[in-house]
Each structure stands twice: as C-alpha cells, then as structure tokens.
Amino acid sequence: MAHYPFSDRPELLVLTCTHVLAGADVTLCCHHFNDNSWEFVCGGQHTEEDAVVLSVGELCELDPTLHLLSDLPVGACATRKSRAYAWQKGRIAGEDFYPAAASRL
Ligand SMILES: [Zn+2]
C-alpha cells in the first residue's frame, strides 16, 4: 500500500485519546497498523470514551514532533518516555511487517 507522509495528506483521520489532546506529558505511543490506520495515544489505560478521531494535520499542530513519525512503516510503532525524549521505533508484535521497511526503523 502506498505510503503518504503526513504533510501530503493532512486530512488523514487518526485515532488519539483525550489525554493527548489535553497535552498530558505522558508516554506517547504511535502505531501504524496493517490496514494503514494510525493511532497516537498516551501510555495510559483507555476506554472507548477516551477515544478521539481527528486529522493528523490537527494533531501535528498540537505536537509538531509527530512529523518525525511520518515515515513510520506499516507494522511499526514508536514510543517515548515523554515529549522531552526521542522516539524509539520498533515493530508491533503480531502485525505483519515488510522487511524492506526495516531501514526506516
Ligand atoms: Zn490516553
């Protein structure tokens, strides 16, 4: 499936949580799933009530460092201890991963 950097497709809808929208300085976790959907959530526990869908463009306005994840391959995830830390990229357990994308991790 084609990959689009966020800047080329700011209207892409992604899943996030109310905690991220509130600007909580907590562990952030980004998943790029096999169906090409994206999730940007904090590291806390979530219920359906915590889920928020918005465009990746809006999300990047809230946190410009998310642009650093625009080349995250399908089947990969990224985490960090807080906004002050660099992203650590890796594979999502149980998701298909395309070996050709390994160089982007
Ligand atoms: Zn959260």
CA of 97 from ligand 1 middle (Å) equals: 25
Domain ranges within the chain, ordered by starting residue: 9-92
Which tokens is 75 given? 């089947």
Given a contact cutoff of 8 angstroms between Cβ atoms, the answer to whether 104 and 71 are in contact is: yes
In the chain, pLDDT over 70 holds for what percent of residues?
90
- Average pLDDT for residues 33-50, to the nearest whole number? 90
**What pLDDT, on the 0 to 100 scale, is given for residue 52?**
94
Q: Rounded to 5, what percent of the chain is helix, strand, coil?
A: 30, 30, 45
As a whole number of Å, the end-to-end CA separation of the chain is 18
pLDDT tens digits for 53-100?
Answer: 999 989 888 888 888 888 888 899 999 988 888 899 999 888 888 777
CA of 94 from ligand 1 middle (Å) equals: 22
What gap in Å lies between CA 80 and CA 104, rounded to an integer? Answer: 17
What gap in Å lies between CA 32 and CA 19, rounded to an integer? Answer: 19
**What pLDDT, on the 0 to 100 scale, is given for residue 27?**
64
CA of 24 from ligand 1 middle (Å) equals: 8
